[in-house]
Amino acid sequence: MPLLQVRGLTHYFGGLKAVANFNLDLEPGELVGIIGPNGAGKTTVFNLITGVYRPTEGQILLDGHNLVGLQPHAITNKGIARTFQTIRLFKDLSVLDNVRIACYSQVRYSPLAAFLHTQRFREEERQTREEALRLLDIFNLRRYAQAQAKNLPYGEQRRLEIARALATRPRLLLLDEPAAGMNPGEIQRLMELIQWLRREFQLTIILIEHQMRVVMGICERIQVLDFGETIAEGKPKEIQNHPRVLEAYLGKGVA
């Protein structure tokens, strides 16, 4: 059974059709890329899947269960996490707290237990901290644990965002242009990191990316959007020479 099924997803901003009849079947463990020119509706698809917007039409099913209408945190708790095109860390908070906040729903103690500092509260807080530090270790961020997130170098901020997303214990990870603003060396390491994470955390991944090197290099399947419509889908090789894709990126007459 597919992990994620998106059926006929359509979304309007006022009169503007941002996403039209978007369909996607995602098997567990797949790594799928979504590409397309600016304004093609890629990030809107992420916002619809994660519940930031409610779709005008269409169905989104995770393990066959409907996600449409749930609040974003409820969707996150069902196992979908994401990163953002422009970094959205909790800037004034510490790196450690950025990750600990993402453990919010794993906490079982009541507010009263927090007031009274009960044994259970202390034990769960200790576990949360350990979990967060473990993730920071994986991303080589532990030495920044006490630093304010905004003071981290750009590449580290990107990694912290992924660490924070993983703290919610997702099965499906949505990465929104993770390579934006990175140099070739950093991009290479990012590609290795994504593939390693996928194995290590048994993730299914949807990747939005402009860097063709990343998309062509690691995605098994690619879906191309233009003006909200899916204009092509297939293996990287097929997409590279697809006439409608070339047209969308370069204009008519090229193909």
Partner 1 sequence: MNRRWWLPLILALLFLLSILLPHFGILNLYLQQVLMYVGINIILTISLNLVNGYMGEFSVGHAGFMAIGAYISSLLTVWVFPKSWGPFVFPLVLILGGLGAALAGLIVAFPSFKTRGDYLAIVTLAFNMIIKSVLENIEAIGGPRGFMGMSKLTNVAWVYVWVLITIFAIRNFVFSAYGRGILSIREDEVAAELVSVNTRQTKILAFVISSFFAGIAGGLFAHVLQFINPRSFTILKSTDVLVMVYLGGIGSIMGSILGASIYTILLELLRPLGVWRWVVGPLLLVILMVTRPRGIMGLREARWLLPAEEVQADAAVTS
User: Binding residues for partner 1, per CB under 8 A?
Assistant: 50-52, 71-73, 76-77, 81-82, 84, 88-93, 96-97, 100-105, 107, 109, 111, 114-117, 121-122, 125-126, 128-129, 133, 142, 145-146, 164-165, 167-168
Nearer to partner 1, 139 or 232 (CB): 139
Nearer to partner 1, 66 or 110 (CB): 110
Smallest distance, Å, CB 107 to partner 1?
A: 4
How far is residue 145's CA from residue 147's CA, in Å, rounded to a whole number?
6
Smallest distance, Å, CB 17 to partner 1?
A: 23
Whether residue 33 contacts residue 54, with contact meaning beta carbons closer than 8 Å, is answered with: no
Smallest distance, Å, CB 130 to partner 1?
A: 9
Nearer to partner 1, 107 or 246 (CB): 107
**What's 216's DSSP letter?**
H
Nearer to partner 1, 3 or 141 (CB): 141
How far is residue 168's CA from residue 96's CA, in Å, rounded to a whole number?
14
How far is residue 225's CA from residue 209's CA, in Å, rounded to a whole number?
12
30-61 CB burial, b ≥16 within 10 A, e <16: bbbbbbbeeebbbbbbbbbbbbebebeebebb
Smallest distance, Å, CB 63 to partner 1?
A: 18
CA distances from 155 to 27, 186, 187, 200 (A): 30, 8, 10, 21
Picking from 133, 71, 123, the residue whose alpha carbon sits closest to that of residue 98 is: 133
Strand partners, 31: 205
Nearer to partner 1, 73 or 235 (CB): 73
Smallest distance, Å, CB 71 to partner 1?
A: 7
Nearer to partner 1, 161 or 226 (CB): 161
Q: Within 10 A of 185 (CB to CB), how many other CB atoms are there?
A: 9
Where would I find the beta strands (DSSP E) of the chain?
A: 4-13, 16-26, 31-35, 57-62, 65-66, 80-82, 172-176, 204-208, 221-226, 229-234
Phi (first) and psi of residue 189, to 5 degrees: -65, -35
Smallest distance, Å, CB 80 to partner 1?
A: 9
Whether residue 182 contacts residue 159, with contact meaning beta carbons closer than 8 Å, is answered with: no
Smallest distance, Å, CB 254 to partner 1?
A: 38
Nearer to partner 1, 96 or 190 (CB): 96
